[in-house]
Structure 1
Amino acid sequence: PHTFFEEGLTDVTHIDFSWPYCPEVRNALLAAAECAQLDVVPRGTYAATQGPRLETVAEIARLERDGCDLVGMTAMPEAALARELELCYASCAVVANWAAGKDSDEITMEEIQENLLVGMANARALLRALIC
């Protein structure tokens, strides 16, 4: 689902989504990344797109003009659903490619798979540091 606010409501219900991620979880992830000596970008603006297709060059250019630093398909609707349930939530993004038009080469599934292997190894290291 994209919302838990669909059935049985007597009033219109909206959530404040000004700051989607929980600062406590975010800070814990950043501290774990430092402990694991991972190269991370500590802040940025995420643009959620509808997969499974990759974005067009024009879409990436528009999102960049809009101030987005990272484009992906996996942070929504999870962040909104967590906010609706008042859960403390943050996202850890594994970057799989540079996006359409950001590199001279065409994006290939081979490149994405190679980057995901490295990224998931880093994610495991992050989780180990987080729970220790």
Structure 2
Amino acid sequence: MEDSAGTQPSEQPRSSNPGMVKYARPALIAGAAVATVCIALLVIIFFLDTFNATIYSVGGKDIQDATDEAQDIRGLYNGARVGGFIVLLISLLAFVGGALVLYLKRGTGPDNSGDEDVDFDDLAGR
């Protein structure tokens, strides 16, 4: 038998930017987790805001009044609400970006078709 002098590739060609694929899955997971937390935070803020408005209006007052007290109650959670929306948008962008990179780079990893199957008898040493 003769050995061939040419080189034979052992795996499929990899993508030109493997760093993007390396960070896509953590970005996808982190984006989904942070988006879930932000949605829960915004729901809690909504309920707290509604609760405060209800308690304020029990005494016959209206939350839409132009009084300082009503304006303070309406603006109580504005910072947390705006921050929650900003972080939610950033996390959704990370989620979509990670999903897009993983979708576009699918099938460009190493070729594992040469792996042999291992059954229980091989693992048990029989």
With normalisation by structure 1, the TM-score equals 0.25
Higher relative contact order (CA 8 A, sep 6+): 2
Please give the TM-score of this superposition, normalised by the length of structure 2.
0.26
Q: Which has the higher strand share?
A: 1
- Structure (1 or 2) with the greater helix fraction: 2
